[in-house]
Structure 1
Amino acid sequence: MEQFREELEAAYARECEAHGAHPGAWLRAYIALTFCEGEEDTALHRALVPLAGQPALLEALAQAQVFLLERAEADGVPAGAAHAVRLACDGFWLAELTGQPRLSAAQTQTLREALTAWTR
């Protein structure tokens, strides 16, 4: 989980460097980390796959991820939109872990663009 958090902070730093620390920058970093092009094994996958079927570990993970709620709400985007973006990102990678149909490349790009638009 710590590695994921470090990768998320690095993505946030890149977003701020490229576009400034404007509202939605943290969420755009979360989107960028979710939609890593050409990377099947994302940081979040590496953090969570070993926890499947481990209720005690999942509870600890939920506590460790409270920062996601806090950072999303503090990002300058209306809270409802911020949580919708974060949860859509989570659902995107979780669908793969649970055997849901994968989006095509075009569908994935459309989703990414829509989520990013919500952060502006």
Structure 2
Amino acid sequence: MSFKFENLIIWQKSMDLGEEMNLLVKNFPKEEIYNLFSQLRRAADSVALNTSEGSILQSNAEYRKFLGYSIRSLAEVVTCLHKAIRRNYLPKKDFDRYYKNCFDLMNMTIAYRNKIK
């Protein structure tokens, strides 16, 4: 027994992203706890949350809208990563890895969204 979204690779990868960002922010300075720390965690978690929420009892149009929210949350994560690297909270190699993961997940989500008519 499972919810249909649990089988989606985009949901699984977005769950991983949320956990990675949660670990990442633990290295941020304490003064960021209510700013970038919180924003990055919430944005990353929103990717999976919107993917799952949109998949339950929604029309295809509504589901596409929720997937759009997931895509926009990914853009927010990327912007937070840019802020983190500019503030020297994140090594370039880690930024590059997270950036690629976000880019790949965005493209997968867009492709999935485009298949929903």
Q: TM-score, normalised by structure 1?
A: 0.39
Q: Comparing both structures, which one devotes a greater share of its residues to helix?
A: 2
- The higher relative CO (CA closer than 8 Å, separation ≥ 6) is in 1
Q: TM-score, normalised by structure 2?
A: 0.39
